[in-house]
Structure 1
Amino acid sequence: MRKWLTIMLAFTLVFSLAACSGGSNGGGSNVSNDGGSGNSGEGGEQKPVKLRMAWWGGQPRHDYTLEVIKLYQQENPHVTIEPEYANFDDYWKRLAPQAAANELPDIIQMDISYFTQYAQKGQLADLTPYIGEQINVDNISENAIAGGKLDVKLYAFNVGVNTVQFQYNPETLKKAGVEEIDDENWTWEDYVRIAKQVKDNTGLYFDTGMRPEVFFGYFLRTKGQHLYNAEGNALGYEDDALFVEFFGRLAELVKYGAAPAPDVKAQIKGPEDDPMVKGTGVGIWQWTNQYVSIQQIAGVPLEMLHMPGPNREQGLYLKPSMYFAISNNSKQKEEAAKFIDFWVNSVEANKLIKGERGVPVSSVVKEAIKPDLDEAQAKVFDYVAWAEENSTPMDPPDPVGAAEIMNMLKSYSEQMDFQKITPEEAAKKFRQEANAVLGKNK
């Protein structure tokens, strides 16, 4: 009898301890009432959590991102975030071996050109379970969220929207005898003429060229064509004359000296090195979200210019400036999701970010930080608002192999700029090689 009572007392004690522990290993929710992840230690204290976060960008982006991380850690003292950052090209070179070794950072800044590749290889977590839980989307449109979907799964969260344009120093342009450019009506032919005029009158570069995959894509859209077909298993345009026209024009400007040769561009490691910043160039083709930082670095007022036409509205689109994704190998997915929520929904955090990674996707945040924007930041918000009314829907996410296609375009662009290959030869070779890569998606 005594032995039986001892067993019963032991069973009761174990059951009571389990009931009082508030553990989350059963069927209950793993989200605590205060928004925590359930990583609680003794006395209700949360267990320490360490997250790795990776991003690309210039020094201004690094600086404010570290401030946002600091703010988050102050509000969540159990969390430590280790930053990993580099410029765009070095970032992907660093990320590839980490992915191969299943050692990706918990939070990854993701670009649309690599999104499908990483998602289809199972390297990104599906964020669907965290939507409406760790990530509040009450004030974020479904269109903004859908930009991070592949098929039915959400592999990345859109942290801001932007569009392409030309950003330039108006004083440098005036020195070349060009008072202004007809913003509403200028064409590709006008671009070539003005670029050569700048070179003739000042010896300066007009620009530093265009990222091929971005601006060739825009050019194709103005012609009613696309870089990839809808299935992602072949190029989306049939006439190689479009390739010849676009890249032939850029190669012509390099040969003329109106744009730098590839060996000069190779020395541009970040916006700090751009000819416009150094006073040896007029402007730069890039995304709207990069306007504020390039102006800060240049230290002079800059202006914005629409893309050349015709058919600008058909070419323009609003793009997720970048995403935050969570590594599938992360052991702290819920905590990583909470940081994403903080990034997109915290007004205080966005007073530091100020749209540098794109105009905020939260309507509440966007309105709340407007009074704190300086003139340059307000210009970006206004331009994106204009683009919302003067653009067409973006293409589907880039297919698997897009990163390889991007490298091909860069390589052939450099060969054309060095006059080692004609645009006609490059167009033919690019089509053969690109379709061979994309054909694997069938």
Structure 2
Amino acid sequence: MRTTFLRKAGIGAAVAATAALTLAGCAGGSAPAADSGPELSDEPVTISLTWWGGDARAEQTQAAIDAFEAEYPNITVEPQYTDWNGYWDQLATSTAAGEMPDVVQMDELYLASYGARGALYDLGGLDVDTSDIADEALATGLVDGTQYALPIGVATYSLIANADLFAQYGVDLPDDETWTWDDYADLATELTEQSGGAITGSAQIVGFDTGGLKYWVRQAGEELFDESGDVTASPETIADMWQYQLDLIAAGGLQQPAAIVESQTAGISAGAIATGKVALGSAWNTQITALADASGADLRLVKLPEPKDVHPNFYKPSMYWSVSSKSEHPAEAALLIDFLTNSETAADIIGTERGIPANDAIREYLSDSLTPTNAAAVEYLGRITAGDAPVVTPNGASGIEGILQRYTQEVLAGQTKPLDAAEAFIAELQAEIDAA
């Protein structure tokens, strides 16, 4: 067993909302101190592992559990899993009863809700090797300076370009190392014009997910949240995001509001990019596989415009591993996380099913076995420079995307002016955080 502790730990649904509130009275105090130093037992030990996902993930995870148990025969792992919505209901119930599973698959939206209330173990006192995880990725698991979660996979925000449509209408792909948002608008408008209106240059690019919002805010030198959980993005910056899109709609380079809503409602595999209605759009880099499979087109990952010497992009964890603060066997729980994170045996089984591995060495180990689109996603990770990790979504803000989408639709439909919507969005989001 490794003797190095978590070496970087010192770096700086309505049901889910109910779960966040419930935690305040059920966590039973703060998590164990980082220097408690739990040790592995020589006796038979049983720990539990819970996750959300479908049948394919369940089969792969069970195979990885089998491999872990073969290597550590005194440890038995009891698996639990369900779908996304049922998962958070189940986790809230077990946490309230003081029976949270030992190892928990965690999401960024709910990490602060569980971590800040003492439901999760401080990983700084557990034996997990993080030396192959970048500081900027590891920091995505911090809540108030404590490492409550270890990222499993990472993604970064990107643009998707349909190279087939660019070629069909005689338009060159952009130089994404030097271009600006003005260049993007010109290119999107040119694509619409060159196609004679057969396609629209761009799908909606920012305003429907927190990734695009955070990118836009960070490029202005701001952050969406601060360490205290306050919304710190200025209304002027958010209004600029919406005004940019209104101007692009007027110029013909961006889809009309009704088409934008239709695309968002259709989902990633039936939206405007996947169906070839646009030549440009935004997505997480890891979504290129689903988009390429659905479209059958030659899709390319393109960097978003960014100001000189500013790095607004960031690592988004696909999900995390966390340990329950109520675990009676935290050393064994940590050993399982270490195995799933660092073992080539586990990597051979799981591959990229939980995202492009946050572990650089495992990502390199898998490089020769990646599909072309996964390889493109990895290559894109290598091309961007990630800035500091954003503050984890504060407790109470897990519904941010629903709020954001509502105001975006109002602005694009001409029902609300950008600055008024920005001020209302910030006030509503802050009220949700304060109420929690």
TM-score (norm: length of structure 2): 0.74
Partner of 1:157: 150
**Corresponding residue of 2:240:** 245
Structure 1 residues 167 and 268: CA distance shift in structure 2, 3 A: same
Q: Contact 1:53 / 1:106 at 8 angstroms: preserved in 2?
A: no
CA distance in 2, matches of 1:226, 1:372: 37
Task: Note if 1:304 corresponds to 2:301.
Answer: yes
* Letter of the structure 1 residue corresponding to residue 382 of structure 2: A
Counterpart of 1:345, as a letter, is N
Change (3 A) 1:433 1:71: closer
Alignment partner of 1:424 is 2:422: no
SS at match of 2:44: coil
Question: Hey, what's the Cα distance between the residues in 2 that align with 1:396 and 1:328?
Answer: 22
**Residue identity in the other structure for 1:124:** L
Give the conservation status (yes or no) of the 8 Å contact 2:60–2:350. no
Shift, 1:83, TM fit:
3.0
SS of the residue corresponding to residue 274 of structure 2 reads helix
Q: List alignment gaps of at least 5 residues for structure 1.
A: 1-27, 41-46
Amino acid at match of 1:237: A
Stretch moving more, 297-306 or 258-267: 258-267
Amino acid in the other structure paired with 1:417: L
Question: Alpha-carbon deviation of 1:286?
Answer: 2.0
In structure 1, the partner of 2:226 is: 229
Identify the residue that residue 39 of structure 1 maps to in structure 2: 44
Q: 1:16-35 counterparts in 2 under 5 A?
A: 31-32=40-41
Matched, 1:85 2:95: no
- CA drift of 1:166 comes to 0.8
- Aligned-residue offset at 1:222: 1.4
| Partner in structure 2 of residue 216 of structure 1 | 213
Which residue is 2:9 aligned to?
A: none
- Amino acid corresponding to residue 272 of structure 1 in structure 2: S
Tell me by how many angstroms 1:305 deviates: 0.5
Distance 1:333 1:254 in 2: 54
Matched, 1:434 2:429: yes
Going from structure 1 to structure 2, the CA distance change for 1:409 and 1:312 (only over 3 Å counts) comes to: farther
Percent of aligned pairs with the same amino acid? 23
Cα distance per residue 1:358-402 (max 9 Å; x no partner): 543434323322233344333333322232xx3422233232233
User: What amino acid sits opposite 1:409 in the alignment?
Assistant: L
Q: Is the 8 A contact 1:156 1:323 kept in 2?
A: yes
What amino acid maps onto 1:421 in structure 2?
Answer: T
Matched, 1:120 2:116: yes
The one-letter amino acid paired with 1:315 is P
Counterpart AA for 2:262? V
CA contact (8 A) 1:64 1:352 kept: no
2:342 to 329, 338, 345: 345
Q: Structure 1: which amino acid aligns with 2:44?
A: N
Question: Quick check: 2:188–2:280 contact (8 Å CA) kept in 1?
Answer: no
- Compute the displacement of 1:139 (Å): 4.3
d(CA) in 2 for partners of 1:419, 1:330: 52
Q: Would the alpha carbon gap of residues 106 and 281 (structure 1) be closer, same or farther in structure 2, given more than 3 Å must change? A: farther
Q: Write the deviation string for residues 134-153 of structure 1: whole angstroms up to 9, x where unpaired.
A: x3445445664443122353
Contact persistence 2:274–2:294 (CA under 8 A) = yes
Say if 1:385 and 1:403 are closer, same or farther in 2 by CA, change over 3 A.
Answer: same
In structure 2, relative to structure 1, the CA distance for the partners of 1:146 and 1:431 (3 Å cut) is closer
- In the aligned structure 1, how far is the partner of 2:57 from the partner of 2:296? 18
CA distance in 2, matches of 1:251, 1:327: 46
Which of 373, 390, 395 is equivalent to 1:395?
390
Partner residue, 1:53: 51
CA 1:370/1:98 → structure 2, altered by over 3 Å: closer, same or farther?
closer
AA aligned to 1:110 is M
Aligned to 1:278: 275
SS in 1 for 2:301: strand
**Shift in CA distance, 222/152, structure 1 to aligned 2, threshold 3 Å:** closer
TM superposition shift of 1:295: 2.9
Q: Are residue 171 (structure 1) and residue 147 (structure 2) matched?
A: no
Q: Is the 8 A contact 2:158 2:284 kept in 1?
A: yes
Structure 1 counterpart SS, 2:266: coil
1:365 matches 2:358? no
Aligned match of 2:18: none
> Which one has the largest radius of gyration?
1
Go from structure 1 to structure 2 and tell me whether the alpha carbon gap of 1:83 and 1:198 turns closer, same or farther (over 3 Å shift): farther
**Equivalents in 1 of 2:178, 2:294: separation in Å?**
30
Match of 1:267 among 265, 268, 273: 265
> Could you tell me which residue of structure 2 aligns to residue 190 of structure 1?
183
Residue correspondences, number: 386
Q: Counterpart amino acid of 2:113?
A: Q
For residue 181 of structure 1, report the CA deviation from its aligned partner.
Answer: 1.8
Deviations 1:83-132 (CA, angstroms, capped at 9, x unpaired): 3234xxxx4x8525742563766654433333212322344343344x21
Q: Shift of residue 221 of structure 1?
A: 1.5
After superposition, give the CA deviation of every residue in 1:51-80 in whole Å (9 maximum; x if it has no partner).
43224xxx8xx6356324324335537435
Q: 2:403 aligns with which of 393, 404, 408?
A: 408
CA distance in structure 2 between the partners assigned to 1:219 and 1:32 by the alignment:
49
Provide the C-alpha distance between the structure 2 equivalents of 1:299 and 1:312, rounded to a whole number of angstroms.
Answer: 36
Q: 1:84 to 1:328 in 2, by over 3 A?
A: farther
**Helix, strand or coil: the match of 1:308?**
coil
Report how far residue 333 of structure 1 moved: 5.7
Question: TM-score, normalising length from structure 1?
Answer: 0.73
